[in-house]
Amino acid sequence: MAKITKSFSEQNSNPFKLSQIYIPVGIGIVVIGWLFLSEFDVTSFSNVHFNWSSVGYILLAFIFMFGRDFGMIWRFRLMANKNLTWKQSFNINILNEFTSAVTPSAVGGSSLVILFLSKEGISVGRSTAIMITNLFLDELFFILICPVFFLTVPVSELFNASSVITATIGIVFWSVYGILVLWTLILYIGLFRRPDLIAKFVQLIFKLPILRKWQTQIEQFGENMVSSSIEMSKKSLVFWTKAFGTTALSWSSRFLVVNALFMAFTPINNQLIIFGRQLLLWIVMVISPTPGGSGLSEFAFKEYYNDIALGSGPVLVITVIWRIISYYLYLLLGLLIVPGWINKVFLKPTVENIKKQKSK
């Protein structure tokens, strides 16, 4: 394990290319522009009214997004046994969100959490434990909360089948949900039951010729998974209650953003439908091939909520504000934080090493 930790901590390759930001931004702007042009109707957009009430609800949406980040930041500190400051936890959260925003949703940015944590002084073994546990908690939240909505809200209202596209969302959801249940079970076994079995299975897969070049990294991951299991199995019930509570706070706050935005333009009788649809849509977006779901998210959101009695104009405005709060804001925060973080963990150590070698 010591060799693995040493080799990982000595990596000095910058994982970010700021040019990657142009692709998702470009896709998002093109899709939103196309939606506005294709759906433009003077009568419909005349229903969009900004007043003090709507401004207040938009501010509430930002507060909910802050609640989402606070939950994630708190969880990072909790998982690291408070060996991270609030500022470090904030930076790691933004770095993680920024990475997710510039990589395809199907790939995600969770794997780089190990790098972010290790560069902030957390050991590779514990960083791996935090990454795997966070994944497990996120997936557990989704697979547990979905049945709750199916029991409280009619399925026909959750799945808007007004068009071929929205009807397809239901099919995709059940497929992805089944995969998430299986993935959560694998994570559970890997964390609490037989980490050695999961590690051997993954290592066997990566012996295939097409995957063999990553075999060394997978062997390291397998060893870290075993150590993660040992560490997490010692945690108390209080710890797991807090961990799941911060997870529920974070994801619920993210989805409540949409509820607040709809309230900004019209009173909605059943807020559970708005919340539930956002939950289902998020699961579907897991398989998006575009960076951060850009383009596909905007289009799917607009189509999925098109049966709400608002008209196309207000729904498009809500779509734009939603993406600004939940996506483009993280691109901006990433641009502000990433350069300084890279300078701190990649460039400064290199300069210091050069100075030490010259002094010798």
pLDDT of residue 60: 95
From first CA to last CA, the distance across the chain in angstroms is 31
Name the 3-class secondary structure at 200: helix
Helices (H), 52-123: 52-79, 86-101, 113-119
Q: In this structure, which long-range contacts are made by residues 293-296, counting pairs with CB atoms below 8 Å and at least 24 apart in sequence?
A: 293/105, 293/327, 294/23, 294/24, 294/25, 294/27, 294/28, 294/31, 294/327, 295/27, 295/28, 295/30, 295/31, 296/31
Residue whose C-alpha is closest to residue 326's, from 76, 110, 140, 66? 66
Strand-pairing partners, residue 220, are: none
Q: Please list the pLDDT of the chain residue by residue as tens digits (360 residues).
A: 434 334 444 444 555 565 555 666 666 666 556 555 555 555 555 566 677 888 899 999 999 999 999 999 999 999 998 899 999 999 999 988 888 877 766 555 566 788 888 888 888 778 878 888 898 999 999 999 988 888 888 877 777 666 566 667 777 888 888 989 998 988 888 788 777 777 777 777 767 666 666 667 667 777 777 777 777 778 888 999 999 999 999 999 999 999 998 888 777 777 888 898 888 888 877 777 766 667 777 777 777 777 775 655 677 788 888 888 888 888 888 878 877 887 777 666 554 554 444 444
pLDDT of residue 253: 94
Other beta carbons less than 10 A from residue 78's beta carbon: 18
pLDDT of residue 9: 41
Residues contacting 6, CB < 8 A, separation 6+? none
Residue whose C-alpha is closest to residue 108's, from 97, 116, 93? 97
pLDDT of residue 108: 57
pLDDT of residue 28: 60
